[in-house]
Chain A
Amino acid sequence: AQSVTQPDIHITVSEGASLELRCNYSYGATPYLFWYVQSPGQGLQLLLKYFSGDTLVQGIKGFEAEFKRSQSSFNLRKPSVHWSDAAEYFCAVGTGNQFYFGTGTSLTVIP
């Protein structure tokens, strides 16, 4: 069965520090992988996606993610976090019909 695990419920980082949010998935076929971000009062915004090809994908707002098939992972990274990155981040696996989401990681950025 398809599933997504985000092991970190909450992460706190200092502004300017690097960030890595973990995501592991379980899916029988080649996955379509996504990272979404939800800021307070906003909808889910697509940060980046992986369908095929280069395993390192670039997204908006300076985020990137690396697909590692051997580890069934799709971790999200950012080299230098800004205060405006404080939000909740969701990893998702897309099938042809629906998405399977992780439980989300809440990011707090301290000055």
Chain B
Amino acid sequence: EAGVTQFPSHSVIEKGQTVTLRCDPISGHDNLYWYRRVMGKEIKFLLHFVKESKQDESGMPNNRFLAERTGGTYSTLKVQPAELEDSGVYFCASSQVLRHEQYFGPGTRLTVT
């Protein structure tokens, strides 16, 4: 069974540009989560989808971040326009309904210069 995959693995962009990160969850997992780790800090929750619906987006830093999950399969996280403080590693995780363990992808390392 394939795990959670994320694309790209690395992205380097200039301040003001747009970047879109993609996450493909484990097949059959209705729950999808986005997290972010800024260097030296803890991994922080961004938002949670159940199928295509946003269940909780309380962790989204500001309106420059837009997450979508059309059709309840893969998800995208767009940052527009990117700022220097957006640099970090963005993790995606998925889980089955009513199961507490989350399965994480390898992360996308975003560097904004």
Physical interaction between A and B: yes
Which A residues contact B (CB, under 8 angstroms)? 4, 32, 34, 36, 41-46, 49, 51, 90, 92, 94, 96-104
Question: Which chain A positions have C-beta within 8 A of B3?
Answer: 43
- Known contacts A43-B4, A43-B91, A44-B91: does B103 contact A100 (CB below 8 Å)? no
Decide yes or no whether B72 CB sits under 8 A from chain A. Answer: no
- Whole-angstrom distance from the CB of A47 to the nearest CB of chain B? 11
28 contacts between A and B (CB under 8 A): A32-B100, A36-B104, A43-B91, A43-B104, A43-B105, A43-B106, A44-B91, A46-B101, A46-B103, A49-B101, A51-B100, A94-B101, A94-B102, A96-B100, A97-B48, A97-B56, A98-B45, A98-B48, A98-B56, A98-B59, A100-B45, A101-B35, A101-B43, A101-B44, A103-B40, A103-B41, A103-B42, A104-B42
- The bracket for how many chain B residues form the interface is 20 to 34
**What 6 pairs across the A-B complex have the smallest Cβ distances?**
A44-B104, A43-B106, A101-B43, A98-B45, A103-B42, A101-B42
- Known contacts A43-B3, A43-B4: does B42 contact A99 (CB below 8 Å)? no
- Whole-angstrom distance from the CB of B53 to the nearest CB of chain A? 13
Question: Which chain B positions have C-beta within 8 A of A46?
Answer: 101, 103
Question: Which chain A positions have C-beta within 8 A of B25?
Answer: none
Which one, A41, A90, A92, A102, contacts B106 given CB within 8 A?
Answer: A41
Q: Contact: A90 with B43, CB < 8 Å?
A: yes
Question: Which chain A positions have C-beta within 8 A of B91?
Answer: 43-44
Q: Contact: B102 with A99, CB < 8 Å?
A: yes
Judged by DSSP, the binding face of A is: strand
Decide yes or no whether B113 CB sits under 8 A from chain A. Answer: no
14 A-B pairs besides A45-B104, A101-B43 with CB distance below 8 A are A34-B101, A43-B105, A46-B103, A90-B43, A92-B43, A94-B100, A94-B101, A97-B55, A98-B33, A99-B43, A99-B102, A100-B45, A101-B42, A104-B43
